[in-house]
């Protein structure tokens, strides 16, 4: 048995609840996807799809909880406060010393951290947006066209003389960009919270592009209005303006992250353990 | 510290310094408590071996075992005792000292061969 085996054991145990991707991230991703195209309700099949996604997310969350408990057992996680004497940590104590300090349960700490991160991300988005020239958007807000048709309809963007009014297009654009900031920050925060491990790098890979979309959306005014607009703006504009695209991207990111977490958990708990191999 | 790290290695507490028990203790050190099924998966031990090792650890005072009924089935929960956590902490520190001792011992120039 190596230190790496022990490190893996401690990591999987410590993050057992968080790695249950089918219980949290995937259902949340499905529910997020179901929110896309909310104003397009004339197509019955599309409505059924959205309802199925929502119901599927809820049912999966309930079923997955039972699945993980029956298949892999239960772990009562604990709140591990920062060790008072980090210099006493041994490299053979992967993830930290075994000594515990009294702290709230890990789930409470995780929720607090998520709320704090989300709040900071939204605040940063608002600040970034206020520092750049305001950009107005106008797009097709038809209630009878499918959402994906709006990609062909084109988006008009302009630097308004005043702060642009909150038209439906603007509200959706702002909400979508804020969603990128929120999801990106949570993904990045998860990667940091899990020790910036290589096995969790998918959170970094998913979080950075979402944060970049939020940053570009907030500071778009810096890139337009001075000479010819860069060509990449036309390419990225649908993601910045259409809320359903934001819901699609964030939902897919959650689903991918959840599936990868689940895969890691299953692989860690199904293969012969180091203790068995050492016999 | 002995002249070589090998003497210290031979004196490690065998209750902890054993792959199966170390795997169990490593898992329990990262949580409040875990049930038997989870320990079975995370350590990869056979059911009988895990039962025996948990009994050994409980007898040594390193682990506390709790049994409860859930859905008409017995569920076994294990947690590190306070003494177990302290001894495990001490074990990690011993291993760290051994590592440093071994590194220092390797850096020593070889003794010249007798004429």
pTM: 0.82
Residues of B in contact with A14 (CB under 8 A): 30-31
pLDDT at residue A89 greater than cutoff 60: no
d(CA A209, CA B75): 44
Buried b / exposed e over A74-86, threshold 16 CB at 10 Å, is bbebbbbeeeeee
Predicted confidence (pLDDT) at residue A86 exceeds the cutoff of 60: no
Q: What are phi and psi of A147, to 5 degrees?
A: -55, -40
Bridge partners (DSSP) of residue A174 are none
The H-assigned helical ranges of chain A are 3-14, 25-34, 44-72, 106-131, 150-153, 168-193, 201-218, 231-241, 243-270, 274-278
Identify the band that residue A88 occupies on the pLDDT scale cut at 50, 70 and 90.
Answer: very low
Give A199→chain B minimum CA distance, Å: 17
pLDDT the model gives residue B3: 56
Query: With bands split at pLDDT 50, 70 and 90, how would you rate the model's confidence at A98?
Result: very low
pLDDT for the residue A177: 94
Could you give the C-alpha distances from B65 to A185, B28, B76, B80, in angstroms and in order?
40, 12, 7, 9
- Supply the pLDDT for residue A184: 95
pLDDT band at A211 (very low <50, low <70, confident <90, very high): very high
Residue A118 contacts B, CB cutoff 8 Å: no
Q: What is the pLDDT of residue A37?
A: 66
8-state DSSP, A82 = P
Which pLDDT score, from 0 to 100, does residue A100 have? Answer: 42
Q: Are A59 and B67 in contact (CB under 8 A)?
A: no
Average pLDDT over residues A47-55: 91
**Interchain proximity A9–B85, CB inside 8 Å:** no
Give the lowest-confidence range in A125-129, A154-158, A209-213: A154-158
Q: Using CB atoms, which residue from A78, A269, A273 is nearest to B23?
A: A273
Confirm if A177 and A240 have CB atoms less than 8 A apart: yes
Is the model's pLDDT at A87 over the cut of 50? no
* C-alpha angle A12-A15-A210 in degrees, rounded to nearest 5: 115
Confidence of residue A250 (pLDDT cuts 50, 70, 90): very high
Burial (CB < 10 A; 0-12, 13-18, 19+), residue A118, is middle
Give yes or no for residue A45 having a pLDDT over 90: no
* Closest alpha carbon to A74 in B53, B73, B105, B95: B73
pLDDT at B28: 95
For Cα atoms B50, B10, B47, give the angle at the middle one, nearest 5 degrees: 5
The C-alpha atoms of residue A40 and residue B43 are separated, in whole angstroms, by 51
Residue A61's pLDDT is what?
95
Q: Which residues of chain B have pLDDT under 50?
A: 1-2
Nearest to B83 by CA among B50, B51, B58: B58
**pLDDT tens profile A162-201:** 666 778 888 888 999 999 999 999 999 999 999 899 999 9
pLDDT mean across residues, chain A = 81
**Which residue, among A109, A266, A273, would best test binding to B if mutated, counting the most B CBs under 10 Å from its CB?**
A273
Structure ipTM: 0.84
pLDDT at A94: 47
Q: How far is CA A202 from CA A30, A114, A191, A209, B59, in A?
A: 18, 18, 8, 11, 43
């Amino acid at each position: 048995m190596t230190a790496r085996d022990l490190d893996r054991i401690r990591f999987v145990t410590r993050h057992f609840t968080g790695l249950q991707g089918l219980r949290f991230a995937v259902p949340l991703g499905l529910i997020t996807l179901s929110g896309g195209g909310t104003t397009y309700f004339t197509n019955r099949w599309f409505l059924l799809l959205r309802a199925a996604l929502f119901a599927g997310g809820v049912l999966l969350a309930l079923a997955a909880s039972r699945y993980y408990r029956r298949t892999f057992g239960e772990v009562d996680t604990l709140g591990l406060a920062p060790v008072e004497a980090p210099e006493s940590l041994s490299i053979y104590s992967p993830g930290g010393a075994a000594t515990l300090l009294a702290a709230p349960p890990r789930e409470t700490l995780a929720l607090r951290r998520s709320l704090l991160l989300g709040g900071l991300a939204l605040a940063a988005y608002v600040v970034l947006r206020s520092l750049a020239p305001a950009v107005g958007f106008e797009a097709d807000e038809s209630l009878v066209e499918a959402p994906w048709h709006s990609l062909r309809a084109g988006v008009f963007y302009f630097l308004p003389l005043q702060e642009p009014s909150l038209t439906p297009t603007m509200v959706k654009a702002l909400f979508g960009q804020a969603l990128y900031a929120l999801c990106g920050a949570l993904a990045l925060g998860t990667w940091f919270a899990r020790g910036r491990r290589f096995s969790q790098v998918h959170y970094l890979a998913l979080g950075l592009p979402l944060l970049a979309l939020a940053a570009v959306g907030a500071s778009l005014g810096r890139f337009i209005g001075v000479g010819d607009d860069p060509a990449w703006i036309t390419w990225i504009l649908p993601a910045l303006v259409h809320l359903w695209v934001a819901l699609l991207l964030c939902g897919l990111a959650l689903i991918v992250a959840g599936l990868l977490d689940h895969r890691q958990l299953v692989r860690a708990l199904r293969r012969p353990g180091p203790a068995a191999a050492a016999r | 510290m002995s002249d070589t790290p090998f003497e210290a290695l031979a004196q490690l507490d065998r209750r902890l310094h054993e792959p199966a028990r170390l795997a169990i203790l490593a898992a329990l050190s990262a949580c409040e408590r875990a049930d038997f099924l989870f320990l079975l998966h995370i350590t990869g031990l056979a059911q009988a071996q895990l039962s025996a090792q948990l009994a050994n650890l409980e007898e040594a005072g390193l682990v506390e075992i709790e049994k409860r009924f859930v859905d008409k089935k017995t569920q076994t929960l294990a947690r590190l005792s306070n003494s177990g956590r302290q001894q495990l902490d001490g074990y990690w520190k011993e291993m760290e000292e051994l590592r440093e001792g071994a590194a220092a011992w390797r850096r020593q120039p070889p003794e010249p061969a007798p004429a």
